[in-house]
Amino acid sequence: MGAMPKASLTTLGCKLNAAETAAIGQQFLERGYTLVEFGDPSDVAVINTCSVTARADRECRQLIRRALRARPSPVVIVTGCYAQLEPDEVASIGGVDFVLGTREKFDLFTHVGLPVKQARPQVRVSDIQEADDFGPAFSTLAGDQTRAFLKVQDGCDFSCSFCTIPLARGSSRSQSVDACLEQARALSVKGFREIVLTGVNVGDYGRKIGADLLRLLEALVQVEGLDRIRISSIEPNLLTDEIIEFVAAHKNMCKHFHVPLQSGSDAVLCLMRRRYTTRQYAERIARIRARIPECGIGADVIVGFPGEGEGEFAQTVEFLTSQPLTYLHVFTFSERPGTPASLLEGAVEPSCRFRRNEVLRLLGRKKKEAFYRQMVGKTLPVLFESDDESGCRCGFTDNYVRVEIPSHVASENSIVGVAITGVKEDRCVGEVRSERRA
């Protein structure tokens, strides 16, 4: 009997992409493949791409070259958003055998058959307007059994001027409450302590199927053995008082919101076609902070958007400084073909974009450190994961504070009460006080 075939998979982009990559891996396991690290010798290499930034496109090319350096060269399959948006461009990259679109990746072997090297790339990309299916919603292939990402929603009906997601993933659609509940139970049985609800626009969950995010949360908190439920990201105009109250009232709801902002200038928000003002955003953040004083609150911000002059950027810095946010994800604007933003006047010089990025990254680091220092002297429950590169055990509190302790003190996938004694670089340190079930 011959050796089992091997497949390697890698992901660019968001947590939603990562969850879907794991589901693609399940297709290989079901057909007798062994999964190996990407870059190791394998028969098939799958790259699940993003196309939010130009950097993601460049990284895709680098990963293809990395896969081909393995000997013998694997069959290279490229899928995901970049493949959906620019299939001919992907197919032109040397070494690519198959290009699969957004719909096709969920049924890979139907479109690829037996993966073998091709004389010329085979492109299987359907019109995104036809995307009305949901695809796999969760997978348990992650190396640790601590946190799992449960895909509850896909696509987007919003029309932000900078975003390619509607072009790459189609219109908003949701999985049923019953299906989400069934999968959450399965994840709990497999030992996952926390699930992270993920999607392109999670706050839009259920709109077309007679449900909403609050109803889904009400069902999920009843799942036996599930210690934590975390919302990955939610638009400020979709974050209702009722959701905030629900998170505040339920122990197994993580006290953490990630609320995209994108700009602290109302003029730029208008150009971006965002659906709120800075005043409305600030009201949402104030509501969270009033109801959940120690809540972790993060924000996405884009710098260098067309029309963002020095005055508009100063407004963003001032606004972010005034807000009780605990961390920032800062992105440098890059023109994406096919988006209205790529046609706007007032382009910002690249060097200016990068300078502004550094300004906000520094502000984000200061906010995180200040929030972490507020935790000193408190005892917080930490869900510990595997050891980090230094050999220490790291995990997160429910309000998204990273905590480190010596690896021998707590077991992986345990929830431990830790008395926070200090802050070291990008994490808190402390002493164990109590441990719940492993």
Evaluate whether residue 137 is within a structural domain.
no
- Please identify, among 327, 343, 374, the residue that sits at the C-terminal boundary of a domain: 374
Q: Are residues 241 and 366 in the same domain?
A: yes
CA distance 348 to 316: 15
Q: Is the pTM of this model over 0.75?
A: yes
| 38: helix, strand or coil | strand
Rg (CA), the chain: 22
Give the pLDDT confidence score for residue 11 in this predicted structure: 87
- Please identify, among 126, 159, 189, the residue that sits at the C-terminal boundary of a domain: 126
Evaluate whether residue 11 is within a structural domain.
yes
Q: Are residues 117 and 166 in the same domain?
A: no
- Please identify, among 351, 374, 397, the residue that sits at the C-terminal boundary of a domain: 374
Evaluate whether residue 141 is within a structural domain.
no
CATH of the domain at 50: 3.40.50.12160
Q: CB atoms < 10 A from the CB of 222, how many?
A: 11
CATH of the domain at 399: 2.40.50.140
Evaluate whether residue 337 is within a structural domain.
yes
Instruction: For 256-265, give one letter per residue: b (16+ CB within 10 A) or e.
Output: bbbbbbbbbb
Q: Are residues 192 and 314 in the same domain?
A: yes
Tell me the mean pLDDT in the region 167-192.
Answer: 91
Tell me the mean pLDDT in the region 420-433.
Answer: 92
Evaluate whether residue 369 is within a structural domain.
yes
Q: Are residues 288 and 424 in the same domain?
A: no
Residue 389 pLDDT level (bands cut at 50, 70, 90): low
Evaluate whether residue 408 is within a structural domain.
yes
Q: Are residues 56 and 180 in the same domain?
A: no
Q: What range defines the domain where residue 319 resides? A: 147-374
DSSP 201: S
CA distance 136 to 99: 19
Q: Per residue in 219-247, pLDDT tens? A: 999 999 999 999 999 999 999 999 999 99
Evaluate whether residue 131 is within a structural domain.
no
Residue 145 pLDDT level (bands cut at 50, 70, 90): low
Can you say whether residue 83 is alpha, beta or left, with left for phi > 0 and alpha for psi between -120 and 50 degrees? alpha
Q: Per residue in 20-68, pLDDT tens? A: 888 888 899 999 999 999 989 999 999 998 876 667 667 888 888 888 8
Q: Per residue in 262-295, pLDDT tens? A: 999 999 999 999 999 999 999 999 999 999 999 9
| 367: helix, strand or coil | helix
Evaluate whether residue 1 is within a structural domain.
no
Q: Are residues 245 and 357 in the same domain?
A: yes
When divided into structural domains, the chain yields a total of 3
Contacts of 166 (CB under 8 A, 6+ apart): 155, 156, 157, 158, 159
The answer on pLDDT for 215 being more than 80 is yes
Q: Are residues 200 and 330 in the same domain?
A: yes
Token pair recorded at residue 231: 């919302």
